[in-house]
Amino acid sequence: MVGGPQTHRLSNGGLIDRSAPLSFRFDGKTFVGYQGDTLASALVANGVKLVGRSFKYHRPRGILTAGSEEPNALVELRTGARREPNTKATTAELYEGLEAASQNRWPSLRHDFMAVNQLFAPIFVAGFYYKTFMWPAKFWEAIYEPAIRRAAGLGRAAGIADPDHYDKAWAHCDVLIAGSGPAGLAAALAAGRSGARVILCEEDFALGGRLLADGGTIDRLPAADWISRTLAELAALPDIRIMTRTTLFGVYDGGTHGAIERVNDHLPSPPEQQVRQRLWRIVAKRCVVAAGAIERPIVFAGNDTPGVMMASAMRTYVTRYAATPARRVALFTNNEDGWRTVETALDAGLQIAAVIDARAEVSPAHRSLASKGGFTVLNGSVSGVEGGKDGVKKISVSMTGGARAEVEADGLAVSGGWNPAVGLTSYHRGRPKWRGDIAAFVPDGAPPGMVAAGAANGDFGLGACLREGFAAGASAARDAGRNRKAGAAPVAEDEAYSLTPLWHVAGKGKAFVDYQHDVTASDVELAQREGFESVEHLKRYTTLGMATDQGKTSNIAGLAIMAAVSGKSIPETGTTIYRPPYVPVAIGAFAGHHRDETFHATRLTPSHHWAVEQGAVFVDTGLWKRAQWYPRAGEKDWLDSVTREVKAVRGGVGFCDVSTLGKIDVHGPDAGAFLDRVYINTFSNLAVGKARYGLMLREDGLVYDDGTTSRLAEDHYFLTTTTAKAGLVMQHLEFCRQVLFPELDVQLTSVSDQWAQFSIAGPKTRDLLKEIVDPAEDLSNEGFPFMGAREVALRGGIKARLFRISFSGEMAFEISVPARYGEALVRNLMLAGKQFGVTPYGTEALGVMRVEKGHVAGPELNGTTTAADLGLGKMMSTKKDFIGRVMAGREALVAPDRQVVVGIKPTDKARRLRSGAHIIPKGQTPGPDNDQGYVTSVCFSPTLDQWIGLGLVERGRERIGEIVHAHDPLRGEDYDVELCNPVFYDPDGGRQRG
């Protein structure tokens, strides 16, 4: 076996598997622990006391707790791409080969150079940085801030892509239970017996909560036996799901809860096909929070010395892990519960140095325990601890009455009482309420359907936890409609819990409130002095409670000290707002599989795989992959390919997959009337067998979308939208149909995916179509005129829809076939068109031809343009109401100096035009007052053999022929351009009509 002996491991006991030794490394040194250990318990068992350095002062720190509230023992776990900063050693399960390193120290944990910060501690008080580092101003980014940044932060992120996978899932239940301590298990029993569907989440890998460390007798059984019996009963019930390694971290509206399951963090890496962690969205009718309580420290000088540990944590290490944090233990307590640690330590054969009890009275039973155990009980408080990297050496005690005493010990257990875990119950901004008898906040104003039980509700006795948990489980089940008899609750005795509140012991030296952020009692006092009295100001000014533990061990003590110095009560002082997640959750888990190529879904056109075969280059358009161009051998860049494609269309025939357009079937007797209301122009008078371009506005009068709509039957229109707006237009039309115009008899369905649609364009279009369309169909200009639309038969028997519309300005048709024929259609077009040199073209060539033709598209339909801006103002009907009609008439929207669509071409034909260049009057120096518009769309026009574009330019259409300046400082370009007719190609439309 590698590594030394486990010097601090008891020879028997504990919930560890001694037959499964595991070797692990901490800061490069090899140790051995057991299956069932956490990293922290294994370090304890190996006598390691120093595990980290604090945030600001780099003080040596040890292990304070045994749970997810740990503020000190944070490590970098794993190495390489799997390195996880700020991992709590107290919750990290040990596995064979585990590697961990301490953080925030250089060059080593024992010899940390940054510990010099402690010398500057008198200056580094709360908020000191707000008062300095201001001169000279330039020094902030250059010097001060980088230094602060390097010093701040704790661990280092891996810096390379996370190799593990995550997923997300949904679960549903009647009763959700957080925590598997006595209250949680009792709640599960009651709810399960009542017939409820139950999910119980436990963040630990073992079930039982505090029972695992504190034991007890339930139903006359030892706690461990009771747990086994209970789990067996739960397993026999039909709908109980127990999820270990799962933390309920948040509660959201409608009974949705967030939970994180650490599926494989207890292994070196996830097994094949498995995820590291899974994010659960659990929908529950009721939730019982049995998340227990967190023992709180007492603030005294040197309370951060390694070896100072929460009393309950010390019990956990000794009982559950058979590991001894110290050999000679002192206890500092203000309550009865702390004394349990003495009993545990004595049972384990440890020495008790002394008990320092801040209360006036110690029970006779404990007095006799002291005399039996041979230790003294000091009535007073710990005022200081001596020691350092190697742990506690000496403890100074201020006795009640003023005397002082010293105690030699190598460990100090501290119990300041217990704070119920009020996180979950407070996440809907409910404020917990103060309970004087336990000097703690308990849940109040919990989210709907949520209730706390047991220690989480401030009732700490075992008997009470069982009773309350059981009652809460039964009533939650009842509320969820499950009424079977729950039977009897488990029974146990209630222990006494008498407490005298004690938050802060005055003394010399730094006394820490927030360990991780190095916030001391005097920082809290300073904050008060400077007016940061509100607890939220206190938090923000001192950073109290903002560390990775979110102040689980520090917040209440901080506000108690603030209350004391400001002369208010604790409830008057109040708490800060509780924020989810309850424990920090990996960002990867929230993302699930939505990363890399699967970040978003991908939509594929019917010809996609064929285009892949052709070697097409694809472009992302929304979720779509569209063929952008089809490179051919010998072409040196995209422009070569696109130019070839455009020329092939203009000179012959080409086709392009336009299936991405939104397609909507509009049915019903009132379909025409409906379209009249959503478009600015009229559709009710469109003849069957004809198509028409339409433009729709938003209700605010600005252009929303455009497209061609055809009338296929008296009561059936086929509407198309732009690719970008397909879903939104459908939503808008449904709103019009269902909400605005319910009196109209009209039905809408998306048929976007039903039809594969291709544009076939070029002078040889008709020749190509004749090859593929049934010879009986009349495709002549008379038989199928421009803007005609009808169903035709294709050779081979299938039906298609043919629309004589043109985006390119050429003689063109769009053809639709049912989508599963899409690929066959493409192949047939290639086959039939070979003789005509048919050329598939992509979205770039499509774009070139639409710019040449002056058609507006996305860059011009940008949500701020009017119909008139686009040159389509005359389409606005004056004979009917339509969406956007009234608001479109506002003064600024009809002002004569608006920027309107115009053509733009460089005066130097060799010059490349770029989108985003601004238009400035010629001869003027560019400035905000003469910025008259910008170039919206550009292309290299093979037809004109130069770059051309469209722009939105002030009074553009009145200025055709004017030479202006294209100003593009981003790209360092300035050149003259001419404003021109936006229709560069075939302005009278002869080609598309021919």
Which residues from 79-108 bind another protein, rule CB under 8 A?
82-86
Could you tell me the two tokens for 305?
């010395």
Q: How far apart are CA 37 and CA 942, in angstroms?
A: 73
Q: Of 453-472, which residues contact another protein (CB under 8 A)?
A: none
Q: Residue from 11, 12, 19, 273 that binds another protein (CB under 8 A)?
A: 273
Q: Are the C-beta atoms of 342 and 369 separated by less than 8 Å?
A: yes
* Spatial CA neighbour of 398 closest among 494, 511, 233, 563: 511
Radius of gyration from C-alpha coordinates of the chain: 38
Collect all residues with Cβ–Cβ distance below 8 Å to 142 and sequence separation of at least 6: none
Q: Residue from 28, 80, 107, 159 that binds another protein (CB under 8 A)?
A: 159
Nearer to another protein, 204 or 265 (CB): 265
Q: Are the C-beta atoms of 500 and 381 separated by less than 8 Å?
A: no
Q: Are the C-beta atoms of 549 and 70 separated by less than 8 Å?
A: yes
Nearer to another protein, 383 or 660 (CB): 660
Nearer to another protein, 651 or 668 (CB): 668
Could you tell me the two tokens for 672?
């025409």
Nearer to another protein, 64 or 585 (CB): 585
Closest distance to another protein from the beta carbon of 285 (Å): 11
Q: Does 429 bind another protein (CB under 8 A)?
A: yes
Q: Does 742 bind another protein (CB under 8 A)?
A: yes
Q: Of 341-400, which residues contact another protein (CB under 8 A)?
A: none
Q: Does 600 bind another protein (CB under 8 A)?
A: yes
Q: Does 659 bind another protein (CB under 8 A)?
A: yes
Q: Does 204 bind another protein (CB under 8 A)?
A: no
Q: How far apart are CA 747 and CA 716, in angstroms?
A: 9
Q: Of 498-537, which residues contact another protein (CB under 8 A)?
A: 522, 526, 529-532, 534, 536-537
Nearer to another protein, 300 or 755 (CB): 755
Closest distance to another protein from the beta carbon of 498 (Å): 36
Q: Is the preceding peptide bond at 107 cis, omega within 30 degrees of 0?
A: yes
Q: How far apart are CA 225 and CA 278, in angstroms?
A: 31
Q: Does 873 bind another protein (CB under 8 A)?
A: no
Collect all residues with Cβ–Cβ distance below 8 Å to 778 and sequence separation of at least 6: 784
Q: Of 799-858, which residues contact another protein (CB under 8 A)?
A: 818-824, 827-828, 831-832, 858
Nearer to another protein, 319 or 899 (CB): 899
Closest distance to another protein from the beta carbon of 431 (Å): 13
Q: Does 214 bind another protein (CB under 8 A)?
A: no
Three-state secondary structure readout of 331-368: EEECECCCHHHHHHHHHCCCEEEEEEECCCCCCHHHHH
* Spatial CA neighbour of 417 closest among 455, 362, 364: 455
Q: Does 727 bind another protein (CB under 8 A)?
A: yes
Closest distance to another protein from the beta carbon of 150 (Å): 6
- Given the rule CB under 8 A, which of 125-133, 180-188, 221-229, 904-912 is the region that contacts another protein? 125-133
Handedness of CA 65, 69, 75, 80 (dihedral sign): positive
| Residue 444 burial (C-beta neighbours within 10 Å; 0-12, 13-18, 19+) | middle
Nearer to another protein, 120 or 945 (CB): 120
Q: Is 163 helix (H, G, I), strand (E, B) or coil?
A: coil
Q: Does 645 bind another protein (CB under 8 A)?
A: no
Compute φ and ψ for 625, nearest 5 degrees.
-100, 120
* Rama region for 254: left / alpha / beta (φ>0; ψ in -120 to 50; rest): left
Q: Does 484 bind another protein (CB under 8 A)?
A: no
x/- track of binding to another protein for residues 24-63 (CB under 8 A): -------------------------------x--------
Q: Does 637 bind another protein (CB under 8 A)?
A: no
Amino acid at 321: Y
Q: Of 681-720, which residues contact another protein (CB under 8 A)?
A: 698-702, 715-716
- Given the rule CB under 8 A, which of 320-328, 378-386, 396-404, 602-610 is the region that contacts another protein? 602-610
Q: Residue from 222, 349, 436, 669 that binds another protein (CB under 8 A)?
A: 669
Q: How far apart are CA 353 and CA 271, in angstroms?
A: 48
Could you tell me the two tokens for 342?
């003495």
Q: Of 566-585, which residues contact another protein (CB under 8 A)?
A: 577, 579-581, 584-585
| Residue 766 burial (C-beta neighbours within 10 Å; 0-12, 13-18, 19+) | buried
Nearer to another protein, 31 or 755 (CB): 755
Q: Residue from 205, 497, 741, 786 that binds another protein (CB under 8 A)?
A: 741
Nearer to another protein, 491 or 824 (CB): 824
Closest distance to another protein from the beta carbon of 611 (Å): 13
Closest distance to another protein from the beta carbon of 157 (Å): 5
Q: Which residue bears the tokens 């130097």?
A: 908
Q: Does 248 bind another protein (CB under 8 A)?
A: no
Q: Residue from 110, 484, 609, 909 that binds another protein (CB under 8 A)?
A: 609
Q: Within its chain, how far is the Cα of 20 from the centroid?
A: 38
Q: Residue from 378, 464, 772, 901 that binds another protein (CB under 8 A)?
A: 772
Q: How far apart are CA 294 and CA 550, in angstroms?
A: 13
Q: Does 172 bind another protein (CB under 8 A)?
A: yes
Q: Does 252 bind another protein (CB under 8 A)?
A: yes
Closest distance to another protein from the beta carbon of 286 (Å): 15
Nearer to another protein, 363 or 915 (CB): 915
- Given the rule CB under 8 A, which of 311-319, 647-655, 781-789, 859-867 is the region that contacts another protein? 859-867
Nearer to another protein, 295 or 518 (CB): 518
Q: Does 141 bind another protein (CB under 8 A)?
A: yes
Closest distance to another protein from the beta carbon of 801 (Å): 12
Closest distance to another protein from the beta carbon of 796 (Å): 4
Nearer to another protein, 335 or 554 (CB): 554
Nearer to another protein, 160 or 496 (CB): 160
Q: Does 782 bind another protein (CB under 8 A)?
A: no
Q: Residue from 360, 587, 633, 910 that binds another protein (CB under 8 A)?
A: 587
Closest distance to another protein from the beta carbon of 206 (Å): 23
Q: Of 896-925, which residues contact another protein (CB under 8 A)?
A: 914-918
Q: How far apart are CA 86 and CA 966, in angstroms?
A: 53
Q: How far apart are CA 794 and CA 835, in angstroms?
A: 19
Count the residues in the chain: 994
Q: Does 17 bind another protein (CB under 8 A)?
A: no
Q: Which residue bears the tokens 């409910």?
A: 430
* DSSP character string of 673-723: HHHHHHSSS--TTPPTTBEEEEEEE-TTSSEEEEEEEEEEETTEEEEEE-T
Q: Name the packing angle between helices 555-566 and 521-529 (round to 10°).
A: 50
Q: How far apart are CA 612 and CA 627, in angstroms?
A: 8
Q: Are the C-beta atoms of 174 and 285 separated by less than 8 Å?
A: yes
Q: Which residue bears the tokens 């209440």?
A: 556
Q: Does 740 bind another protein (CB under 8 A)?
A: yes
Edge-first strand listing for the sheet containing 662-667: 691-697, 703-713, 716-721, 662-667, 747-750
